[in-house]
A and B are shown apart, each in its own frame.
Chain A
Amino acid sequence: MPTAPAVFDEMGWPDQIRAPYALVDAWLKSIPAEQLALKRREAEVLFRRIGITFAVYTEGGDPERLIPFDLIPRVMAQAEWQSLSKGLEQRTRALNAFIHDVYHDAEIVKAGRMPERLVFNNSEFRAEMVGQDLPHNVYSHIAGIDMVRTGPDEYYVLEDNCRTPSGVSYMVENREVMMRLFPDLFRKAGVAPVAHYGDSLLQTLRSVAPPNCEGEPTVVLLTPGMHNSAYYEHAFLADEMGIDLVEGADLLVKNEICYMRGTDGLTRVDVIYRRIDDDYLDPLVFKPESMLGAPGLHFASRAGNLTLTNAIGAGIADDKAVYIHVPEMIRFYLGEEPLLQNVPTHDCSNPEDLAYTLAHINELVVKAVHGSGGYGMLVGPHASRQETEDFVAQLKARPSDYISQPTLALSTVPTFVESGVAPRHVDLRPFVLSGEEIRIVPGGLTRVALREGSLVVNSSQGGGTKDTWVLER
């Protein structure tokens, strides 16, 4: 195994505590171990009782599992967050401009700044969307930008999630639980609140009401149903916004107008926050056998009677091959230099990049272009010989389905583990809301890889979460 590069611990634990963590450090040192153990159990009971669970598809056992929650918060100073959030705003504006362009004149392709095949041969390209205008030209209303940190001032965007990013309920509920467990700590800390996420989301969704909407728009959240792994989040968000949580069967489209079926008749629906993939959204346009969506949603949207958020086809902006070109998008559409860096990435569809990837396979992270959730990915330094061989075979068979990146030394934050407190790698998913304006709730979801040395933070792969603090001062 190659020697591990120096890892940046965000707290400076154990003996070089960085300023933003001073209070957390003092708190950790003062609180007796038994009391912490008690609080950890209490947290678990709270999560169970509230029902904050998620389903894991591939394993047996309890179908409703908890994502492990770690009590030690992840802390960012106000200045750190300010620069990050400016970068997030810039990036999201460019991503939306790109999606709009792709479904209109494709100027970026014409200008030779983006390879044509990445757009028009992309399985996420939705020809149905060509020429369709959307309120404020926004396609990805809710975007989750995955960030990692490698040093005090070094951040990288790992990937953009422009379709239906999840996890925001954990951001809000983690805070809720922390505040219930440690009210004293919060009184001293001055942490920027996150509880208004639901309000911001509703404002965003209302601001993109379709042109033919009269009066106050009716907004609903469309869920695939309670067997979906993120069902808790769907219910949570609908609740936070005070809107109806609907399933496909509750909706119907008549004369290109969308309605929901109630005990008191049909109510017109103006904006749908859909948590269903494009493929299942409208059986008239996509998978005809889908029972999850409702026939005609796309046509209602085209007729200006309905806004679907996120828009159909927004996924064109978030595959891992397009990712390589996001900095270029920022320059092209905004005429600005990117504030956030990309991870240097090799596109294996290029022969040189493929050759480089194969030669350095033990040092690189290789990812499927369309994979997500930590599936279809090889972490070279940590993979067994067999895993590597299997992966290389797939990579050689379809090189254009893969990209590779250096294995970053992700920052760590101290975390409770069996043996006590130890550093564990983290990432950050802030949620960017785009409508009439851009809104970002301070912080985001911090995911932590609970296994020692592991870099995979996905909840489906044994990751946990932490409360994320942005200090007000």
Chain B
Amino acid sequence: MLARTASNLFWLARYMERADYIARLLQVAGRMSAVRVDDAEDNSEWESAIVAAGCDETFYEKHEVANSETVISYLTFDRDNPSSICNCIETSRRNARAVRTALTSDMWEAVNSSWLELREFETAEPMSEDRLTEFLDWVKSRTSLVHGVYANTMLRRDGFHFTRIGQFLERADNTARLLDVKYHVRLPSAQDVGGVVDYYQWLAILRVVGARRAYRVLFKGQVEPSQVAELLILRPEFPRSLVFCFEQITLNLDAIVAHDPKLSSESKRIAHSQYAGLRFGRIEQIIEQGLHEYLSELIEGCEHLGAEISNGHLF
């Protein structure tokens, strides 16, 4: 298939996945700030949302403080933020439009109608809370639709594999960032480690990835940090875990017909070694080594892998 087409499909899927993730982050941050009435000045949920979105550098160029207002506006309809939901959907749709012929008509309609409906949510004033909830639910349902439609209508050929890789590389990156957020979040005081606030933060992470129930099924007890980490990193049953993402990435990379085996072997090497590490890794070891260091390396690894895929397949 045309290299440009492969690249467009890859980014189409990445940006849809990112839109979904940002919507989930905002929902949980909103929920957390709503349950806490003790300290109105505390904005830690919003600060961590910005970090978890991977936008902390650019955000503080524009805003001094991260609070509900600034973070929501930055992550929903801010045109200056390439990862705002509206930009994600627009970029995704732009990529779709550039390769219309590589999409199934259902897929195009799903992406295009999302883009058309998106405009109806954009208003000059800040979004009311009700409207925000509606908007975030809408984003989640649209991205599910796009993902479902491509999975159910695309031919299992290279186009599908590149779409898949885009989606799961983005998801791996998001999951790693989400978990790493705990490293950046300041707790009110040292004693709070293991305290109520800490507990709610771990719970929030589970909520973002929609894993509250999955956690209960797999671990049955109270929310334990190491088990949350295990679920999000190592459990192959959980479709947002890093190991699951890398399984998908390696599967689909291997399925692609490479024109130059030498050139494309580097991306496969990186993906497979990452996958092997995840498959045979143990959570105790990861925590001992330092969760933050481990996740930072993984985030870098994702970036590197993305670059090598472009390289190896002539994007």
Contact = CB atoms under 8 A, between A and B. Distances in A.
Contacts, number: 67
Given A250-B2, A250-B4, A263 B98 contact: no
A238 to B, nearest CB: 5
- On chain B, which size bracket covers the interface? 20 to 34
A263 B158 contact: yes
Interface in B81-123: 94, 97-101, 105, 108-109, 112-113, 116
Interface in A243-257: 243-247, 249-250
A265 B259 contact: yes
Given A250-B4, A261-B3, A261-B314, A225 B98 contact: yes
Interface residues of A, number: 25
Nearest to B4: A250
A435 B162 CA distance: 37
A348 B109 CA distance: 50
Nearest to B7: A263
Contact of A50 (B109, B158, B259): B109
A263 B101 contact: no
A361 B112 CA distance: 48
A48 interface: yes
Given A48-B116, A226-B97, A244-B101, A263 B258 contact: yes
Interface string A238-278: 11000111110110000000001111111000000000000
Interface string B228-266: 000000000000000000000000000011111000000
A235 interface: yes
B6 A263 contact: yes
B92 to A, nearest CB: 14
A24 B101 CA distance: 35
A165 B4 CA distance: 26
B1 A262 contact: yes
A371 B260 CA distance: 48
A245 B162 CA distance: 18
A51 interface: yes
Nearest to A64: B97
A126 B5 CA distance: 33
A249 B2 CA distance: 11
A317 to B, nearest CB: 30
B110 to A, nearest CB: 10
B313 interface: yes
B12 to A, nearest CB: 13
Nearest to B313: A263
B263 to A, nearest CB: 10
A238 B101 contact: yes
A266 to B, nearest CB: 8
A166 B260 CA distance: 39
A245 B100 contact: yes
A59 B226 CA distance: 59
A71 B162 CA distance: 41
A247 B260 contact: no
Contact of B260 (A51, A225, A243, A265): A265
Nearest to A240: B101
A263 B100 contact: no
A263 B99 CA distance: 15
A263 B259 contact: yes
A49 interface: yes
A261 B2 contact: yes
B113 A260 contact: no
B101 A235 contact: yes
B188 to A, nearest CB: 50
Nearest to A231: B97
A49 B116 contact: yes
B261 to A, nearest CB: 11
Contacts of B257: 263-264
Q: Name which of B97, B101, B258 has the most chain A CB atoms within 10 A of its CB.
A: B101
Interface string A199-214: 0000000000000000
B112 A245 contact: no
Given A51-B112, A263-B256, A250 B101 contact: no
Contacts of B100: 51, 235-236, 239, 245
Nearest to A247: B4
B206 to A, nearest CB: 37
B158 A264 contact: yes
Given A264-B158, A265-B259, A51 B2 contact: no
B1 A51 contact: no
Interface string B256-287: 11111000000000000000000000000000
Interface in B184-238: none
Contacts of B98: 225-226
Contacts of A247: 4
Nearest to B113: A49
A392 B221 CA distance: 88
B97 A51 contact: yes
A50 B162 CA distance: 24
Contacts of A250: 2-4
Contacts of A48: 116
Contacts of B105: 50
Interface in B155-205: 158, 162
Contacts of A246: 2
A262 B97 contact: no
A270 B98 CA distance: 23
Q: Name which of A231, A243, A244, A249 has the most chain B CB atoms within 10 A of its CB.
A: A244
16 contacts: A49-B109, A49-B116, A51-B97, A51-B100, A225-B98, A226-B97, A235-B101, A239-B100, A239-B101, A244-B101, A245-B100, A246-B2, A250-B3, A260-B2, A261-B4, A263-B1
Which 7 A-B residue pairs are closest in the complex by CB-CB distance?
A265-B259, A235-B100, A264-B259, A263-B313, A238-B101, A264-B257, A245-B101
Interface of A: 48-51, 225-226, 231, 235-236, 238-239, 243-247, 249-250, 260-266
Interface of B: 1-6, 94, 97-101, 105, 108-109, 112-113, 116, 158, 162, 256-260, 313-314
Given A243-B101, A263-B158, A263-B162, 16 more contacts: A51-B97, A225-B98, A226-B97, A235-B100, A244-B101, A250-B3, A261-B2, A261-B4, A261-B314, A262-B2, A262-B3, A262-B259, A262-B314, A263-B2, A263-B6, A263-B314
